[in-house]
Structure 1
Amino acid sequence: MDFRRKSIIKGLFKEFDTKVYRIVTSIDDQIAKNLKDGNIVTRPTSTNGLWSCVLLPTVLVLYSILCNVSELYILMAYLSIGLVAYSFLFIIFVSVSCLVFKDNIYGGCTASTLVSALLLYAVQGQDLMFSLGWSMVAVMSYSALLRISLTVYPKTFTIGEAMVVTQSIVLFCVASLCKYFYNVTAEDDAEMKLINSVIFTVLSSVGIIVAAICILDDSQKTMAVFVYIISVAATYALMVLHVKLGLDCLVRLAEYVLLDMDRIKLFIFWVGCAFVAVFVIMVRTHLNVKANTITRKSFHILGSLVFLSGILYNIRLMTLAAGVGLGLVILLEALRKSGIDPISSSLQAAFNVYSDEKDVGSFAMTPIYLYVGLACPLILVPEHPGYELELLSGVLSIGIGDTAASWFGSKFGMNKWGTGPKTYEGTVFNILSQVALMHTIQIFGLLSVNNAMIRVAVAAAVSGVVEAKIDQVDNLILPLVTLLAFQSTFILC
């Protein structure tokens, strides 16, 4: 009797899963058809990755529940709920018609604004006008950027990837504005004040350079004009640092990095890794030999070494370096697209050698995703007991696991997951490599976190299976999935 009951329950679950799968598949197929009818060309994949829109908001909301986070973090979590609400409405709109890309439809923006505004006002206790104002800014910006990313830059994103990217940009910009101009969270820590001030200055200076490059016409795209733009941006950066840190800002920054031997060692190691990467790129570009997947994955290893060493030895210096590095990555991509020779042509030659099948759009998103995937836990993970392990989400999932799966699967993989290129052998090696790295770290006593091996095993299993099954960009999705897996084992820490 019990066996019969279990069989019935199992059959009902299987039927439910089948119906849900059919509904999701039919919606995805209808959206693909509407995109084609509207001449909207997304990055070539078998699915649109619609489920990706919930990843970042879920990470933020869960951390705001599980940890004692700042007022600014809670603000971002509530705003992200409004963004995911608009994402759902956007999916519904696109499944009906492609007109959402062509007409200004603000109904979804109004409803989504009210969702986050009510949360800010009723739950967090923010002022009503503050709640409505910032909710409207976030949702309207997200709506505009989402449309632009899919219409102006063809073949660059899937819908899911565009949602994750635009959510990240909007929340990061809103957080920066609230922190530095609205004083949502007062900065009591002098070291973090210095770090945040430098990161804000670097990123805003890069924004000025990129904006200036975008408005240049072809006759103005010369090295002389570029040097002038750099001079203006440098002057702006010095002015901001003087206001934020005082007249001795450069001296304080130099002292912070150079007057501590551990920081000097880390800095030298990171510079060495950067020189190795640049040297390899220059040699292969000069030889004009197209890089294969294994060669490209070597940069995953170099990036992982940088972030792993920084997280294990000095998280705050790593945060400073990650912010400055993000500005450099964005600037390099802007220069590649700028048409300013000889810089643009040299960067384009390197891109032609190292680009893969996913880099068919307007921008080289794969290396940007790699960097952001390694660095994003530094922003997303609040400080709490055992948080150092969660900061390694990007290193474990894409730096080690994805690289190991790619190498082992291409060499020894025989049994494939369905019709895709991923193999069972690669997935198993993906999981084992992450667990092995954690075991090595513990052997050398570099990290002491309760139940670290169990938590890494769970996170590795989740990210390994997701890596094998999805067709979205791994560098963007897997760190967020790994963070969610760590959150599911939060009680163990």
Structure 2
Amino acid sequence: MLPNMDDYGEVVVTCLIVLVRVVFSLIDYRFMYEVLGLLCLSSAAFFTEVAVSRNNNLRLFNPRLDTSAGILMGAVCIPSVLVGRLVQRKRTASTWLDFNQLEDFKLHFWSSVTASIGLLVYIWVALSYRQSSMSIKRERKSWMIFAAVILFLAILLPVKVLNVAFLVSFSIWIMNHIIQVFPHCTSLGEAVLVSNGLAVYLSNAFAHVFDKTLFDGYSKDDSVPAILQGILIGLLCIPWLSKVVATGLTKFLVFCHFKQKNTKEKYHSAISFYIALFVASIITIGWLQYFSVLDKFFFTWVLEFVLQDIRRLYLCCFWAFVILMSAIPFYMVKSTKFEQIMVRKVFHVMVVVMFIPALTSQQTFLHLAFSIALAVFVVIEMIRIMRVPPLGEPVHRFMTAFTDARDSDLLILSHFSLLIGCALPVWLNGSTHDRPLARFAGVVSLGIGDTMASVAGYNFGSMRLTQTSKKTVEGTITGIISMFLASIFIQCMLLSSSFTITELMSLTVAVIGTGLVEAYTTQLDNFILPLIFFTLLLV
């Protein structure tokens, strides 16, 4: 049985969302296999969560304190989003090229299912062996199990053997890395979600390495999405490069009989990091240039892209002004007159102010801006974690002023996850005009729904959802109503588009589902809520 009522509520809400996704997908019989795959994955994830939540097994995975396993949510979130994109692509498909892209989306879905199944099998194996020391014989047995899983998935699912091997091994490596390097910083479900997403996304990117003809077909409109691939690959290289450079530099200093002191070690790590950052930048630019994604040098291309439309330059100036104003919440939180939770929601309001103007008319530019902002945020967090001079300590003091119970001194996720939550719907939605409200999913769910729920619940809430929950009925209802009204205003007033009956029905389901997830989940809602709202808007 599950440990408490809050966890039970999260599981029930997740099951209802999957059920809604399945029912609406069954309208088209061509998605029958995908629906069955999602149902089987959901069942496997449910039983895995029950097993992990029993007998205090969750502690074996170093989760964040006071959080549920979240395996069901983490395992089905990405596949549910991809089913939604599959249905959306089917609605807009009109030519043979569109139907070829439909097959690509199906492949992405099955890749996500493959990664999730691999992670679930790994969790079961870990449950079997982590309670006792892993002997060589048992270790060999576990590798045999993984080899059998890879072969079975390659035969059963429409995914190539090499792709299955990469998806399973890379997703497991990422999840292991998160659990071991950042203990008690994430829930197990969040680790599954991030590992699944990175594995699927990078498998598509690395497929282009072995089949360069896919890049030959890139148009100028595809350049901006491809930049995100290059940036992500470069970011993943930084920790590995930093470790390699630090090891080489240490050996060089030992060879030169140079004794390191504490101050010297700090500059030693700084030199290693900046060298790794420089090399990773070269890798990113080289990736983009080699595969002919860009016809110019990266920085030249970005500058020309911004200057193509004067509104993009105005947006950059506006964003710079709003970011400078973020210093005000820093001084507010230092004052005892303002509660930290209220000050933190100022950043959510800033999200609405910054991104809604760009979402209405500059989606492609916002896609690029989010990609560059991702690189900046990740590099800044690395500098903070490693305390790299001269910015390490000042950045640490600024970031820790807004932390909550879900953050730790080792890894601060709030600011980073807020950016990712707003960016994911933009990255996922592409340039399609079907369901135009979908690209606003992050801004509406986080900037409006989550903010209004917190403000109303904190100031006026009196009826707790459960005895142990901090969430209130008043806050949840306020969040749902605010998302519904904001969505109607955005589509009718800003986008000058009316609702069809189907769109209005999907919006109603989306705001209720997202509101219930916000109320019951113990996962990082900045990650989860935009994905849930996005996939339900596509039904």
TM-score per shorter chain, which class?
Answer: 0.7 to 0.9
* Residue type of the alignment partner of 2:208: K
Q: How far is 1:324 from its partner?
A: 1.0
> Structure 1 vs Structure 2: percent identity of aligned residues?
21
In 1, distance between residues paired with 2:237 and 2:122?
31
Match of 1:43 among 57, 60, 64: 64
- 2:53 maps to 29
- 1:165 maps to 194
Q: How far is 1:66 from its partner?
A: 4.8
Change (3 A) 1:252 1:95: closer
Change (3 A) 1:442 1:228: closer
Deviations 1:291-317, CA, capped at 9 Å, x for gaps = 711111211222233333222212111
In 2, distance between residues paired with 1:297 and 1:360?
19
Deviations 1:229-286, CA, capped at 9 Å, x for gaps = 5554555555555543345654443222113123223333223222222x33664688
Change (3 A) 1:221 1:275: farther
In 1, distance between residues paired with 2:81 and 2:416?
21
Change (3 A) 1:269 1:94: same
Residue 385 (structure 2) pairs with residue 337 (structure 1) = yes
Deviations 1:9-61, CA, capped at 9 Å, x for gaps = xxxxxxxx9xx9x988853432x62344x5x4210125211211111122213
* Residue type of the alignment partner of 1:73: F
Do the aligned partners of 1:438 and 1:453 also contact (CA within 8 Å) in 2? no
* SS of residue paired to 1:373: helix
- 2:185 maps to 156
Change (3 A) 1:422 1:43: same
Residue 77 (structure 2) pairs with residue 55 (structure 1) = yes
TM-score (normalised: structure 2): 0.75
TM-score (normalised: structure 1): 0.82
Count of matched residue pairs: 457
- 1:468 maps to 519
Q: How far is 1:416 from its partner?
A: 0.9
Larger RCO: Structure 1 or Structure 2 (Cα < 8 Å, ≥ 6 residues apart)? 2
In 1, distance between residues paired with 2:105 and 2:420?
19
Change (3 A) 1:483 1:231: closer
* SS of residue paired to 1:43: coil
Residue 535 (structure 2) pairs with residue 484 (structure 1) = yes
Do the aligned partners of 1:434 and 1:456 also contact (CA within 8 Å) in 2? no
- 1:85 maps to 117
Q: How does 1:156-235 map to 2 (within 5 A)?
A: 156-179=185-208, 181-183=210-212, 185-186=214-215, 188=217, 190-215=219-244, 216=246, 218-221=265-268, 228-235=275-282
Q: How far is 1:379 from its partner?
A: 3.0
In 1, distance between residues paired with 2:146 and 2:339?
44
In 1, distance between residues paired with 2:133 and 2:435?
41
Match of 2:475 among 426, 444, 451: 426
Indicate the larger mover: 256-265 or 111-120: 111-120
- 1:275 maps to 324
In 1, distance between residues paired with 2:419 and 2:124?
32
- 2:161 maps to 132
In 1, distance between residues paired with 2:378 and 2:194?
14
- 1:7 maps to none
Change (3 A) 1:430 1:108: farther
Residue 152 (structure 2) pairs with residue 110 (structure 1) = no
Do the aligned partners of 1:156 and 1:361 also contact (CA within 8 Å) in 2? no
* SS of residue paired to 1:89: helix
- 2:89 maps to 67
In 2, distance between residues paired with 1:144 and 1:239?
26
Do the aligned partners of 2:460 and 2:474 also contact (CA within 8 Å) in 1? yes
Deviations 1:142-165, CA, capped at 9 Å, x for gaps = 122222322332101211111001
Deviations 1:70-118, CA, capped at 9 Å, x for gaps = 5543332111111222233344445555359956423553344345534
* Residue type of the alignment partner of 1:67: R
In 1, distance between residues paired with 2:383 and 2:178?
19
Do the aligned partners of 2:228 and 2:371 also contact (CA within 8 Å) in 1? yes
RMSD, matched Cα: 3.3
* SS of residue paired to 1:341: coil
In 1, distance between residues paired with 2:383 and 2:133?
29
* SS of residue paired to 2:65: coil
Do the aligned partners of 2:463 and 2:474 also contact (CA within 8 Å) in 1? yes
* Residue type of the alignment partner of 1:50: I
**Structure 1: gaps spanning 5 or more residues:** 1-16
- 1:254 maps to 303
- 2:463 maps to 415
Deviations 1:433-490, CA, capped at 9 Å, x for gaps = 1112123224424252633444323211111111111111111211222133223xx3
Change (3 A) 1:73 1:79: same
Do the aligned partners of 2:387 and 2:393 also contact (CA within 8 Å) in 1? yes
